[in-house]
Amino acid sequence: MASVPYGSEGTRSLLQKHHFVTKKQLGQNFLIDTRVLDGIVEAVNPSDRTVVLEVGPGAGALTTHLAKRAKRVIAIEKDESLRPVLSDALTSATNVDVVFEDCLKVDLVQLVTPYLDEGDELVFAANLPYYITTPILFAVLESGLPVKRAVVMVQREVADRMAAKPGGKDYGVLSVSVQYRARVNRLFIVPPSAFVPQPGVDSAVVLLDCANPPDARVKDEAVFFRIVRAAFATRRKTLLNALAGALSIPKDVCAARIEASGIDPSARAETLSISQFSKLAEQF
In the complex, which residues of this chain contact ligand SAM (CB under 6 A)?
A: 26-31, 55-59, 61-62, 76-79, 102-104, 127, 129, 132
C-beta of 160: minimal distance to ligand SAM in Å? Answer: 19
C-beta of 34: minimal distance to ligand SAM in Å? Answer: 12
Q: Is the CB of residue 43 less than 8 Å from the CB of residue 205?
A: yes
Taking CB atoms, the residue at the shortest distance from ligand SAM is 56
Q: How far is CA 282 from CA 214, 217, 250, 276, in A?
A: 17, 11, 18, 10
φ, ψ of residue 12 in degrees (nearest 5): -60, -45
Residues comprising the chain, all counted? 284
β 195-196/30-31 pair status? antiparallel
Residues 6+ apart with CB under 8 A from 35: none
C-beta of 55: minimal distance to ligand SAM in Å? Answer: 5
Q: Toward ligand SAM, which CB reaches closer, 104 or 201?
A: 104
Q: Toward ligand SAM, which CB reaches closer, 58 or 265?
A: 58
C-beta of 99: minimal distance to ligand SAM in Å? Answer: 9
C-beta of 159: minimal distance to ligand SAM in Å? Answer: 15
C-beta of 172: minimal distance to ligand SAM in Å? Answer: 24
Q: Is the CB of residue 73 less than 8 Å from the CB of residue 94?
A: no
C-beta of 162: minimal distance to ligand SAM in Å? Answer: 17
The rounded distance, in Å, linking the Cα atoms of 40 and 36 is 6
Q: Is the CB of residue 17 less than 8 Å from the CB of residue 91?
A: no
The rounded distance, in Å, linking the Cα atoms of 160 and 170 is 7
Report CA 195 to chain centroid distance, whole Å. 19
Q: Toward ligand SAM, which CB reaches closer, 147 or 243?
A: 147
The one-letter code for the residue type at 116 is L
The rounded distance, in Å, linking the Cα atoms of 191 and 200 is 10
Q: Toward ligand SAM, which CB reaches closer, 154 or 228?
A: 154
Over its C-alpha atoms, the chain yields an Rg (Å, rounded) of 21
β 203-209/183-190 pair status? antiparallel
β 121-127/50-55 pair status? parallel
Q: Toward ligand SAM, which CB reaches closer, 60 or 172?
A: 60
β 30-31/50-55 pair status? unpaired
Q: Toward ligand SAM, which CB reaches closer, 75 or 208?
A: 75
Q: Toward ligand SAM, which CB reaches closer, 203 or 276?
A: 203
C-beta of 57: minimal distance to ligand SAM in Å? Answer: 5
Q: Is 163 helix (H, G, I), strand (E, B) or coil?
A: helix
Q: Toward ligand SAM, which CB reaches closer, 138 or 284?
A: 138
